[in-house]
Amino acid sequence: MLKIVSVAVFVAMSSCIKAAGTVPAGQIVFFRSFFAIFPIVVFLAFQGKLGTAFSTKRPLNHIARGVVGVCAMGLGFFALIRLPLPEAITLNYAQPLLVVVFSSIFLGEAIRVYRWSAVAVGLVGVLVISWPELTLLGSGAALGDQEVLGVIAALVAAAISAVAMLLVRNLVQSEPTATIVLWFSVTASVLALLSLPFGWQALTPVQAGLLIAAGFCGGVAQILMTAAYRHAEASVVAPFEYTSMLLGIVVGYLAFGDVPTVHMLIGGLIVVAAGIFIIWRERQLGLERARTRQATPPQG
């Protein structure tokens, strides 16, 4: 339940950003990150962890995670305001597939044929979703098309976000979740301010309200997501991420008149199936490792 609610709140965040219209990506990142701090701080204060949440022995690692995360967030928001909501959400599903690839390349993790096959199938699904826009590149006539730029930005954002997930994997070995979340929100807010000279625009009261709401939604969704993973195993919770595709289709149609294409539906189902298979495979391997540890007698 917590995961489904967190997904719904994240979709609400994306909807607020899309409804705000064309706003510079750096400006959106600032509102999303800065106003997310408020619900996070309230939550930490309620838990009595506010005094220690920001203390760390690895500030450079947090900053590196912030830089990578801000790049992914900025490109994701750039794509969001140029693509229909369902496509923008579904293209982000490439991220967990790329985490598998990058885990093998950068961390040396052993990835067996089952997961490589699922990654290949999932990336075919991403290609199916992207194909109507990417074929425009072959003609040159539509090279400046905003949807083409949106698809490219969404895919690059997914790749950079996968790198951010590897950095988070490293941080969670020694840092509390609250520390990681708070450091990221603060770092992202500061980094987003650096984009101010590159063309922030004056916002209407409606735009400002929508972006502030997006920030609060982002903070609340992070809290709910963290709580979800505290109450159940990741392999149980993670598949519910894909409910965002259904919510994206409904909200996109009702709020923005976005009608999902056949390419988006077929490609989305392929990507979801591949992602769920990877999660299932991780769970099976985890159970095998647990049985092996239990069957191994203690040494000494």
Question: If you average pLDDT over every residue of the chain, what do you get?
Answer: 84
Bigger pLDDT: 119 vs 217: 217
Tell me the C-alpha distance between 105 and 107, whole Å.
Answer: 6
pLDDT surpasses 90 at 265:
no
User: What count of Cα atoms within 13 Å lies in the side-chain half-sphere of residue 231?
Assistant: 10
pLDDT tens digits, one per residue of 9-68: 999 999 999 999 999 999 999 999 999 999 999 988 888 888 888 888 899 999 999 999
Give me 249's structure tokens.
Answer: 């289709």
Bigger pLDDT: 76 vs 297: 76
Kindly report the number of other CB atoms within 10 A of residue 220's CB atom. Answer: 22
Radius of gyration of the chain (CA): 20
pLDDT surpasses 60 at 160:
yes
* pLDDT for 207: 96
* pLDDT for 118: 83
Instruction: Report residue 116: phi and psi, to 5°.
Output: -60, -40
* pLDDT for 143: 42
Place 89 in a pLDDT band, splitting at 50, 70 and 90: confident
Tell me the C-alpha distance between 36 and 16, whole Å.
Answer: 14
* pLDDT for 216: 96
What is the chain's percent helix, strand, coil content, to nearest 5? 80, 0, 20
CA-to-CA separations, 232 to 154, 164, 220, 228, 229, in angstroms, rounded: 30, 23, 19, 6, 5
Token pair 């967030």 is found at 73
* pLDDT for 234: 62
Of 12-21, 101-110, 151-160, where does mean pLDDT reach its minimum? 101-110
Q: Write the single-letter amino acid at 24.
A: P
* pLDDT for 190: 94
Of 142-146, 197-201, 211-215, where does mean pLDDT reach its minimum? 142-146
**To 10 degrees, what angle do helices 146-171 and 113-134 make?**
150
Please work out, in degrees rounded to the nearest 5, the angle formed at the alpha carbon of residue 296 by the alpha carbons of 295 and 297: 110
Q: pTM to 2 decimals? A: 0.81
Give me 188's structure tokens.
Answer: 């992202």
Per-domain boundaries in the chain? 2-295
Kindly report the number of other CB atoms within 10 A of residue 116's CB atom. Answer: 13
Tell me the C-alpha distance between 199 and 25, whole Å.
Answer: 10
